[in-house]
Amino acid sequence: MRQRGFGFIEIIIVVAIVAAAGFLLMQYFSSTAKTVEKLQQDRPLARTRLVADQATLTSVQSLVTAYRTEKGQNPPDKAAVLGLLVSPPKFQCPGNDFDYESATGALSLTITDDARC
């Protein structure tokens, strides 16, 4: 008489294959999580945003220089510098801003929270 169904050996083989696949998936996700954690520690993207903010500041500085060349003096205050722009500068790092020294016409980047950038 032939019996239908699965034998003990067949079930053990399937359980072993599923366990091996589960182990491999667990290793994959574990290594992916470690890679993401390492990238966040290195923060290369954040440093890229900081460089972009410095480039934005450089472009604003060129407007101040053009104003000085045209008018023969520096803009009187930060509001005048902002008036030179079509729209306020959009810094990539939250909380970043710039300071303006009217006597020298120098701009400096103000980083309020380095951890956010």
Q: Where are the domains of the chain?
A: 7-42, 44-116
Specify whether the CB–CB gap between 108 and 98 falls below 8 A.
Answer: yes
Give me the pLDDT at residue 40, please.
Answer: 67
- Which pLDDT does position 17 carry in this prediction? 97
> CA-CA distance, 77 to 60, in Å (whole number)?
14
What mean pLDDT comes out for the span 76-90? Answer: 88
Cα separation of the two ends of the chain: 74
Q: What is the pLDDT of residues 13-52, one digit of tens each?
A: 999 999 999 999 998 888 887 777 776 666 666 678 888 8
Q: Where are the alpha helices (DSSP H) in the chain?
A: 8-42, 44-71, 78-84
Q: What is the mean pLDDT of the chain?
A: 85
